[in-house]
Amino acid sequence: MKKKLLSLAAGGALLALIAPAQAQFAKPEDAIKYRQSAFALIGNHMGRINGQLKAPTPNVQVIQSSAALIETLSKLPFEAFIAGSESGGNPPTRAKPEVFKDAAKVKSLTEKMQAEVGKLAAVAKGGDVNAIRAQFGEVGKSCKACHDDYRKD
């Protein structure tokens, strides 16, 4: 009996993982809120790193922790750019309609940002503040590249 329940649970979990992103959000507003939340957390942790890099004696552990979180968080918001979530939300989405039309370019920019964030997490582990500062700048550039084209001010 336990084996059957365990198998059913594992099968259900697998189905949940392979379900299309659209099915993961009951309403377009849910997708908007999800991606806004993920981006807000990324922004918060970018701010924490920036604050440490400006401090007279940066706390490398804080930087390492935030960089690792950003690496994880960087994978979350992009599954929530689903059809029907082009407008609306509370607060309203800042995504421009083009983000839903330029799939290849958005994917390329997303992959670039995620790669730069991965490098930041790796560099942060080394603890060299100057190297962290340089890579943090690269992450900022990769974020800005997408914001310039696809985020409303």
pLDDT, tens digit (0-9, with 9 covering 90-100), for 54-74: 999 999 999 999 999 999 999
Higher pLDDT, 79 or 18: 79
Average pLDDT, the chain: 88
User: For 137-147, what is the mean pLDDT?
Assistant: 97
Q: Which of 21-30, 89-98, 109-118, 133-142 has the lowest mean pLDDT?
A: 21-30
Q: Dump pLDDT digits (tens) for 95-126.
A: 999 999 999 999 999 999 999 999 999 999 99
Per-residue pLDDT band for 1 (boundaries 50, 70, 90) equals low
Looking at domain 23-150, does it have CATH number 4.10.93.10? no
The pLDDT of residue 22 is 54
Provide the CB-side half-sphere exposure for 105 (13 A, CA).
11
3-state secondary structure string across 23-77: HHCCCHHHHHHHHHHHHHHHHHHHHHHHHHHHCCCCCHHHHHHHHHHHHHHCCCH
User: For 25-53, what is the mean pLDDT?
Assistant: 97
Q: Is the pTM of this model over 0.85?
A: no
Higher pLDDT, 19 or 143: 143
Per-residue pLDDT band for 53 (boundaries 50, 70, 90) equals very high
User: For 22-48, what is the mean pLDDT?
Assistant: 93
Provide the CB-side half-sphere exposure for 85 (13 A, CA).
28
Rounded CA-CA distance 40/36 in Å is 6
The pLDDT of residue 8 is 43
Radius of gyration of the chain (CA): 18
Give SS3 for 124. helix
The pLDDT of residue 124 is 98
